[in-house]
Structure 1
């Protein structure tokens, strides 16, 4: 294996791509017939697939993003003012500083960095 790229369901592709753009990702729509998109920030890549019947209350999608500085990412995402639920960063018993963001499509993004020391 070389790498893995999660494919996340979204109800509306254009809104999802705009949300990821505001969170600092480079975004691109697939130019074929499907409503599909690509988001990337550094080595992190996610794909989003439009699924109009997607119900965020019954579908469980999650992704964990390891970052250099969870507090800096949290501050940037807070400033982006995107819809959804953004939790505060906290130190964990497993040695990470992390926070959670649940987007309007119901995807849980857990974001963490190693604690120093």
Structure 2
């Protein structure tokens, strides 16, 4: 097997993923683009493992770890995106510039958050 074909395919997948991260504003599409980049890295790892004829198959082992890492990343990422969409009503990344809530969402009109007393009942 030639190394050129999977390497070119991997480079194209990675470039599509980078374009998706830079051009898209939707958080779900950003997560999909990151997954494309991780798939490109996995393809490279397996292709070089086959090309080098590694007896330990370390490229395939690293690919399995990368698949587990991407599954955890997509689970946490989707949970964060759903929580932000539920609280703010928007999933566009460029509109999420502040970490705190706006004045109408549980804060005082002056901008400082509402103080709550810690009482034990």
Q: TM-score range by the shorter chain?
A: under 0.3
Task: Tell me the TM-score normalised to structure 1 length.
Answer: 0.25
The structure richer in helix per residue is 2
TM-score (norm 2): 0.24
Kindly name which structure, 1 or 2, has the bigger radius of gyration based on alpha carbons.
2
